[in-house]
Amino acid sequence: MDKRLLRQAQQLQAKLAKAQEELGNYTVEATSGGGAVKVLIDGHQKVHSVEISPEVINAEDVELLQDLVMTAMNEAVAKSQELANKHLGSVTGGLNIPGLT
């Protein structure tokens, strides 16, 4: 294999590793129910916090709260994945490399 090509691949690998590590420093927030439920998640899809407004806590309507939490979590994960794709895409030049996110 051409040494120059190997060196470029190693440099790309190092940049990707750094970019993946940096994703943990970025967070996104998602809400549902007009802000009644808020979820904060990082670029590694690690949840940092879940906030629930007291107004939506009702023992007689648990399903509503479950739906609000699920909706906010799904939105947060989607936003986090989008963040990861953008961040890693800037390193790969838009190439879709399997297993990066």
Domain spans in the chain, listed from the N-terminal domain onward: 3-92
pLDDT at residue 31 tops 70: yes
pLDDT tens-place string over residues 55-73 = 999 999 999 999 999 999 9
pLDDT at residue 94 tops 70: no
Query: Does CATH place domain 3-92 in 3.30.1330.10?
Result: no
Q: Is the whole model's pTM more than 0.85, yes or no?
A: no
pLDDT at residue 16 tops 90: no
- Looking at residue 78, its amino acid is A
Rounded to the nearest 10 degrees, the angle between the axes of helix 3-22 and helix 62-92 is: 150
Mean pLDDT of the chain, nearest integer: 89
Give CA separation, 91 vs 11, 34, 36, 38, 55, in Å.
11, 35, 36, 30, 44
CB 77 within 8 A of CB 41: yes
